[in-house]
Structure 1
Amino acid sequence: MLDDDTIVALATPPGSSAISVIRISGKNSISTIGNIFISVQSGKKLEDQSTHTIHLGYIVDDKKKDLLDQVLVSIFKSPLSYTGEDMIEISCHGSYYIQQQILQLLIRKGLRLARPGEFTFRAFSNNKIDLSQAEAIADLIFSENKAYHEISLKQIKGTLTNTIKNLRKKLLDFASLLELELDFSEENVVLVKRSELFSFLKYLEETLKDLIESFSLGNAIKRGIYVSIIGETNVGKSTLFNHVIKENRSIISHIEGTTRDSIEGELILNGIHFHFVDTAGIRETKDPIEMMGIQKTMEKIKDSQAILYLFDASIKDRKKQKKIVNEIKIIHEKYPLQKILVIANKSDISSFIDHYNLKSKVTYFFEISAKNHHGIKSMLYTLSNLFIEKIKEKNIIVTQNRHYEAFKKSLKEVLMAHKALNQGRPEDLVAIHIKGALHYLGEITGEITNEEVLKNIFSKFCIGK
């Protein structure tokens, strides 16, 4: 996939704008631009300038003698550039005509239009970044909220890279020593203390489990955290939903069962992207359409990361309150991984009389008035803070499905190595599983990879990145 062509691409979105940036990378970058650039300072040649310098001048079509634009040219010399090669960035005026004229001129000069992600692929091939960092760059470009942005930046800085690097080094040391023991098996030479290997494998197992567990949070942050608003009919779910997303999306009426299908709305809270889902009220019904809506509610609960369970605070009937307590208990048992916030609505009508000590039985309890907007701000703050705290707890959060699968395969090999040691199996068998774990960790960083994987990753980038 890598060749020595000098490549060019528009690094900013196509179309009219104040400025556009055209990016060039390869061995002929500086000389090619030097031939079509006239500095405002007489006699200045780009080839003689230092790396990381910016120069004002004009791009000229030397054949037609046409002045195309006044530009700023930034010089980045190998290896101190993004790609590790000589690079030029031309900041020109953002006219579509100017962009195309400069690009066409450079193509006539022998440059090739870059493929999607080719600049980042060259950075990877020249060991400027590893594969997980390349993916983090793509994540950063497409990040739509603060939390996802911060996770991507952490990975670009090398938090995941360094963790895997340290784990692989230790695994490689053990694998090498175990194989060396095999070479001296007749002399009964012991180079690996079994207690140290046991201890490291246990540490590795816990580390991998933590990384695997973080994927559900990372995936939710990447795609948005889904929050289902559930409860019986006519408890104010749609009123709360409309206020939260600041739109009148759900129809509100006193008729039970008005909401028959789920309705979604988005909101960013404290830098985290949330999808709120207004669901059909849960009750016993013979209406086939309403039953379908209730079935969809159950599906939405399963797919959510958080649940807002609403009930009517004005209910004084002990039987109805007991039913609510039992429903909350069932939801807790059925969906133990979801965060559940219990909300007593309609506090403007009546204060909640807690006959069954519900407040003490749930972790998060709120009294609100969806109609008068009382208590909603506090509830939303708690909701967002639950996920902010989870993000702070994790040094590394896995967001890529490819990493998740590789970590699972690596964990499987570690567990098999541990089992082989416990059963007193031969060292060569233990070494095979250790090398298996090494292999899958190497797939994440790109130390072990194949062309199909690389094409899949870099094809997702824009042309100029």
Structure 2
Amino acid sequence: MLNDDTITALATPFGYGSISVIRISGNQSISIVSKIFFSIQKNKKLEDQPTHTIHLGYIQDFLDKVLVSVFRNPLSYTGENMVEISCHGSYYIQQNILQLLIRNGVRLARAGEFTFRAFLNKKIDLSQAEAISDLISSDNKVYHDISLQHVKGSLSNMIKKLRQDLLDFSSMLELDLDFHEEKVSISDRMELCNFLQKLIKIIKNLVESFSLGNAIKTGIIVAIIGETNVGKSTLFNQIIQEDRSIISPIGGTTRDIIEESMILKGIPIRFLDTAGMRKNVHDPIEYMGIKNTMKKIENSQLILYVFDSSFNEKKQKEMIHIIQNIYKKNSQKIIFAIANKSDICHFHDYIDIKSKVDGLFHISAKNGEGIEEMLNYLSCVFMKKLKKRKYIVLQSRHYESFKNSLNEIQFAYDSLKRGISEELILIHIKCASNHLGEIIGEITSEDILNNIFSKFCIGK
């Protein structure tokens, strides 16, 4: 990608609309636009206007009455001179303005080229560029808020601080190397180990946050599970306010997993109605449905374990055993026990079950009683989980870099504990810093840059 020519693209969605915005960037952008724009104020030259000003006028041959916004370097989005032409949203007008610009030496921008120029001109770093892409893609409040924080530089600043900490650590080790022949130790190895332990804890939290970040982008999976005929499908239909799942007194009616997405208090949720779990299944199709249910349990962030309020003690023990097995596989899993059919059964405390789960709710899936309370608590649990984490990783590229950096620091820590030479430890620390540098673009390759910016829309 060149950075010395002038580029243009439609910044608003393609097609018809009330207003369209055409964006131009490059050192010659203001002088080029001045050739096709004529202000309603006589003798007013666009090239003489200060930055962040808007001007009313006409495009050449009275093609359209437009507003032209001027942004001068380095105060523009790209860090170059920029102009934005706000015209009427006619396809004919859009294309003719673009053709006028091209005839005057402007070329059409490639995908993400405006943001790429902002990166080259150090207006933003690479993680902020990706955060802009996330912000554009955000379809819920939580995703939007995290993306916006990353655009503002919260993640970048934290990474810069980590790299500075690693540099400080390296400086202390290098001091020891300088005085190695005199057999003088400047640094305390225990203090150095403690220093690395703190960094390991921070980066480990970042690595672990990615599963939550990915769920925020794609939807937090909530699996509704339980035995046959306990009211899972009725509960699913009540939650989504639609009859998606077939309800029948015949056990094993639900065989395919049915999914529905919704936004719950700004949180994206994917509710799954699953096949009822029971022993001695002879129908091969129902058996496959139960196998799929077990897979979905593994992939879900939260489980609603529905059971019949009239369950006897034996059934409760079986349920507790299943819950314990789920926690064994993933201690981070959130499980709610849902005592259904409260409209026809006597109230029980279910103390044994309650002590094993993150929440117990008495509901009637049939008439909707208790469901709103359950959903409110569900959203509160996730909001608390989000607030516990200062930073949440959204990009898989960042996740891989943090993971690689963590491995290198762990190697350095283990080497330090074993008394291995400072030279080897310094190599691991440098690699760890480089992996962090990849995230913000201080260390990167052209292939990575092309891959990131090619995913942007034209005009951004």
What range describes the TM-score normalised by the shorter chain of this pair? Answer: over 0.9
Cα distance, 1:423 vs. partner? 2.0
Cα distance, 1:195 vs. partner? 4.5
* Contact 1:314 1:347 survives alignment (8 Å): no
Distance 2:350 2:75 in 1: 70
Structure-to-structure mapping, 1:358-373, within 5 angstroms? 358-373=353-368
Cα distance, 1:248 vs. partner? 1.1
Match of 1:251 in 2: 246
Match of 1:336 in 2: 331
Structure-2 change in CA distance of 1:329 and 1:197 (3 Å): closer
Match of 1:52 in 2: 52
The secondary structure found in structure 1 opposite 2:156 is: helix
Match of 1:8 in 2: 8
Cα distance, 1:395 vs. partner? 1.2
Report the AA paired with residue 200 of structure 2: E
1:313 equivalent to 2:309? Answer yes
Cα distance, 1:394 vs. partner? 1.2
Distance 1:5 1:322 in 2: 72
Report the AA paired with residue 336 of structure 2: L
Distance 1:351 1:415 in 2: 55
Report the AA paired with residue 98 of structure 2: L
1:292 equivalent to 2:288? Answer yes
Structure-2 change in CA distance of 1:332 and 1:434 (3 Å): closer
Between 364-373 and 426-435, report the one with greater CA deviation: 426-435
Q: Deviations over 1:299-337 (max 9, x none)?
A: 11111111000011133x333333333333333334422
1:171 equivalent to 2:171? Answer no
1:323 aligned residue (295, 315, 318): 318
1:384 equivalent to 2:379? Answer yes
Distance 1:99 1:245 in 2: 42
Report the AA paired with residue 389 of structure 1: K
Match of 1:207 in 2: 202
The secondary structure found in structure 1 opposite 2:397 is: helix
Cα distance, 1:182 vs. partner? 3.8
Cα distance, 1:176 vs. partner? 4.3
Q: Deviations over 1:196-223 (max 9, x none)?
A: 4323211111111111111111111111
* Contact 1:314 1:352 survives alignment (8 Å): no
1:302 equivalent to 2:298? Answer yes
1:94 equivalent to 2:89? Answer yes
Distance 1:338 1:186 in 2: 53
The secondary structure found in structure 2 opposite 1:267 is: strand
* Contact 1:344 1:352 survives alignment (8 Å): no
Report the AA paired with residue 287 of structure 1: D
Structure-to-structure mapping, 1:53-452, within 5 angstroms? 53-60=53-60, 66-176=61-171, 178-179=173-174, 182=177, 185-187=180-182, 192-284=187-279, 285-315=281-311, 317-354=312-349, 357-452=352-447
Cα distance, 1:150 vs. partner? 0.5
Between 104-113 and 419-428, report the one with greater CA deviation: 419-428
Between 420-429 and 431-440, report the one with greater CA deviation: 420-429
Q: Deviations over 1:355-409 (max 9, x none)?
A: 6643344330000011100000010111111111111111110011111111111
Match of 1:63 in 2: none
Match of 1:39 in 2: 39
The secondary structure found in structure 2 opposite 1:276 is: strand
Match of 1:19 in 2: 19
Distance 1:329 1:171 in 2: 41
Report the AA paired with residue 49 of structure 1: Q
The secondary structure found in structure 1 opposite 2:63 is: strand
Distance 1:421 1:321 in 2: 51
Report the AA paired with residue 69 of structure 2: S
Report the AA paired with residue 446 of structure 1: G
Cα distance, 1:114 vs. partner? 0.4
Between 236-245 and 175-184, report the one with greater CA deviation: 175-184
The secondary structure found in structure 2 opposite 1:457 is: helix
The secondary structure found in structure 1 opposite 2:62 is: strand
Structure 2 unaligned segments of length 5 or more: list them. none
Report the AA paired with residue 44 of structure 1: K
Cα distance, 1:192 vs. partner? 4.5
Distance 1:202 1:94 in 2: 57
Distance 2:90 2:18 in 1: 8
Distance 2:290 2:428 in 1: 48
Runs of 4+ in 1 over 4 A off after TM superposition: 187-193
Q: How many residues align?
A: 459
The secondary structure found in structure 2 opposite 1:35 is: coil
Distance 1:140 1:116 in 2: 16
* Contact 1:314 1:349 survives alignment (8 Å): no
- TM-score, structure 1 length as denominator? 0.95
- TM-score, structure 2 length as denominator? 0.96
* Contact 1:341 1:365 survives alignment (8 Å): yes
Q: Deviations over 1:259-311 (max 9, x none)?
A: 11100011100101100000010012111111111111101111111100001
The secondary structure found in structure 1 opposite 2:64 is: strand
Q: Deviations over 1:424-463 (max 9, x none)?
A: 2222112111111111010011000000100110011000
The secondary structure found in structure 2 opposite 1:255 is: coil
C-alpha RMSD of the superposition: 1.6
* Contact 2:323 2:356 survives alignment (8 Å): no
Distance 1:366 1:356 in 2: 12
* Contact 1:8 1:24 survives alignment (8 Å): yes
Structure-2 change in CA distance of 1:350 and 1:205 (3 Å): same
Distance 1:102 1:358 in 2: 68
1:455 aligned residue (443, 450, 455): 450
Cα distance, 1:177 vs. partner? 5.1
The secondary structure found in structure 2 opposite 1:8 is: strand
Identical counterparts, % of pairs: 63
* Contact 1:124 1:131 survives alignment (8 Å): yes
Distance 1:107 1:189 in 2: 69
Structure-2 change in CA distance of 1:320 and 1:183 (3 Å): closer
Between 366-375 and 239-248, report the one with greater CA deviation: 239-248
The secondary structure found in structure 2 opposite 1:327 is: helix
Structure 1 unaligned segments of length 5 or more: list them. 61-65
* Contact 2:11 2:20 survives alignment (8 Å): yes
Q: Deviations over 1:56-95 (max 9, x none)?
A: 11111xxxxx211111111110001111000011111111
Q: Deviations over 1:82-136 (max 9, x none)?
A: 1100001111111111111101111111101000000000001111111000000
Distance 1:299 1:44 in 2: 68
